[in-house]
Amino acid sequence: MKEVEHLVTRFLEICYDAIKKQEQAIPRTIDAVDETAASVIEEKKQIVLVGCGDSYAAADYGRWAFLRIGLNAIVVSPDEIGHLRIGKDTAVIGITASGRSLATIDSLRKAKSLGATIVVLTDNKDGTASQEADHVWVTKSGVRTFNTSPSTPTTAAMAYLLAVSSRLDDESEGRLEQDIKQLKSIVKELITWAEKEGKAIAQLTSPNVPIYLISEGPNHVAAQIGMMKFNEYSVLKGIAAIREEFRHHYNISINDHESAVLVTRSPVNSSDDVYMSVLTDSLKMRAYHLHIDERLSLGLPLAQTIPNMIALQMAAYHSVLRYNPDKESFKLPNAEAFKIY
C-alpha cells in the first residue's frame, strides 16, 4: 500500500528537522572535541554527571562511556547532588544543551562551593551555565532554537562524551576509536536506516496505548530518550524499562496487544529471541526487536546506542505524524507547569 503523504505543521517540521540535523551534528561535534578535554577528568577520583530530561539521559550515556574505560563515574539528577560527598577530587559535568536549565545550574553552584571542578557540556557556550564552569565543552548541533524537542543537541552531547572517553581508552585494539570513525563516515546511511526502523515501529503504536521500551546497559539510554520523545508528543505514553526489571514486575500489568520494543546490541543472541517470543506469544504484545544492521559495522554497544536512539526518535515522530499531523505545539499548559528555564 502506498504511504499517505501528510501536510504537517511548522512545529512538526521543526521537530523532524532537529532529527535530520544529526547527520551533520555527529561528525561536527566529534571533530570539535578539544584535545585537552580528557585531561580535565583523567586524574579525578570521582566523575559526577548531571542533567535534566534528555540531558539526564545523555549524562547516563556518559556514565557508561566512562565506566567502560575504568573511570569512577555516576549520574544523578540535579537535586541529588546534595546526597554526595564532593570535593576537589571530583569533576562534575553538567549537561544542558541550552545552557539555561535552572536545576542544573543550581547543582553546579552547589558542587563548585564544595571545591569540585566544574565542566559544562552545552550547545550554547554563552548560556548561564557556562558562567559556573571551569571548563566548557561545546557541541555543534546546528539548531537555532532550544524551544523544541532537543533531538540533535542530545545526540551531540552523547557523541562528545563518547569522543572524550576514546581519548582515555587504552584498549590495544582501539575498538572505540574505530567505532567513532565509522560513526562519522556512515552517518547519512545511519539516519536512513533509523528512519526505516522508526516507521516500522510506528506501525505498532496506537493512540493512548502505552509502548514499553525495554533494554539494558548503554542501550537503555536509547530507551529512555525514546520514552521522552513519545511522551512529548502526547499521542501515547512511553515507558522505559530495564530488561530484567520488566521480567520481574512490569509484565504483571500488561494488557493484550500493548506495544513493546526490545532494544539490544547487535549481533543478537538466542536469549533475545526467547525474550521476543515471550513478549509476542506469552504476553500477546505487539513487539519489535530493534538492533542495528550489522552492515553499519559498529562493534560496541556504546556506539550502537546512538543509531538505536535515533530510530526511536523517528518512531515517536512518525507516530504523531500518523495520528496527529495537525499538532502545533507540545501539550500546554503542561509544558509550562514547572519553571525549568
- Reported confidence tier of residue 55, pLDDT bands at 50, 70, 90: very high
Q: Where are any strands of DSSP class E within 11-167?
A: 46-51, 73-76, 90-95, 117-122, 135-138
**Residue 104 pLDDT greater than 60, yes or no:** yes
**Residue 137 pLDDT greater than 70, yes or no:** yes
Separation between Cα atoms, residue 58 and residue 222, nearest integer Å: 9
For 156, the grid coordinates are: 551531540
Tell me what pLDDT residue 6 has: 57
Separation between Cα atoms, residue 335 and residue 338, nearest integer Å: 7
- Check residues 282 and 337 and name the one with the higher pLDDT: 282
Taking the CA of residue 334 as centre, how many other CA atoms within 13 Å lie in the half-sphere pointing to its CB?
7
Mean pLDDT, the chain, integer: 93
**Residue 213 pLDDT greater than 80, yes or no:** yes
Are 175 and 194 contained in the same domain?
A: no
Neighbour-count burial for 173-197, b at 16+ CB within 10 Å, e otherwise:
eeebebbbebbbebbeebbebbbeb
Separation between Cα atoms, residue 198 and residue 310, nearest integer Å: 8
**Residue 333 pLDDT greater than 90, yes or no:** no
Q: Which residues contact 318 (CB under 8 A, 6 or more apart)?
A: 195, 198, 199, 201, 202
Q: Is the dihedral of CA 35, 40, 41, 44 positive or negative?
A: positive
Are 195 and 180 contained in the same domain?
A: no
Are 21 and 127 contained in the same domain?
A: yes
Domain with residue 210: its CATH number is 3.40.50.10490
Residue 119 bridge partners (DSSP)? 93, 135
Are 209 and 225 contained in the same domain?
A: yes
- Per the structure, the count of domains in the chain is 2
- Reported confidence tier of residue 122, pLDDT bands at 50, 70, 90: very high
Are 170 and 29 contained in the same domain?
A: yes
Are 247 and 98 contained in the same domain?
A: no
Grid-cell match 507516530, residue found: 319
Q: Which of 227, 204, 205 is nearest to 214 (CA)?
A: 227
Other beta carbons within 10 Å of 108: 27
Grid-cell match 577528568, residue found: 41
- Reported confidence tier of residue 143, pLDDT bands at 50, 70, 90: confident
SS3 262: strand
Residue 229: what residue type? K
Are 158 and 217 contained in the same domain?
A: no
Q: Contact, 122 vs 129, CB < 8 A? A: yes
Q: What is the pLDDT of residues 2-32, one digit of tens each?
A: 444 557 899 999 999 999 999 999 999 999 9
Are 248 and 314 contained in the same domain?
A: yes
Length of the chain: 341
**Residue 241 pLDDT greater than 60, yes or no:** yes
Are 233 and 289 contained in the same domain?
A: yes
The predicted model gives 40-48 an average pLDDT of 96
Residue 135 lies in a domain: yes
* Domain boundary pick from 184, 206, 231: 184
The predicted model gives 110-128 an average pLDDT of 96
Neighbour-count burial for 228-240, b at 16+ CB within 10 Å, e otherwise:
bbbbbbbbbebbb
Are 158 and 249 contained in the same domain?
A: no
SS3 195: helix
Residue 308 lies in a domain: yes
SS3 331: coil
**Residue 149 pLDDT greater than 90, yes or no:** no
Indicate the range of 80-89, 164-173, 227-236 predicted with least confidence: 164-173
The predicted model gives 94-102 an average pLDDT of 94
Residue 335 lies in a domain: no
DSSP one-letter code for 88: T
Residue 3 lies in a domain: no
Q: Contact, 175 vs 304, CB < 8 A? A: no
Q: Contact, 34 vs 65, CB < 8 A? A: no
Tell me what pLDDT residue 316 has: 97
Q: How far is residue 151 from each of residues 92, 173, 211, 297, 305, measured CA to CA in Å?
A: 23, 32, 19, 23, 14
Q: In terms of residue numbers, what domain contains 316?
A: 187-323
Residue 260 lies in a domain: yes
Residue 337 lies in a domain: no
Residue 57 lies in a domain: yes
% of the chain exceeding 90 in pLDDT: 87
**Residue 249 pLDDT greater than 60, yes or no:** yes
Residue 268 lies in a domain: yes
User: 51: burial class by Cβ within 10 Å (0-12, 13-18, 19+)?
Assistant: buried
What is the CA angle 264-215-31, rounded to 5?
70
The predicted model gives 191-210 an average pLDDT of 97
SS3 238: strand
Tell me what pLDDT residue 173 has: 63
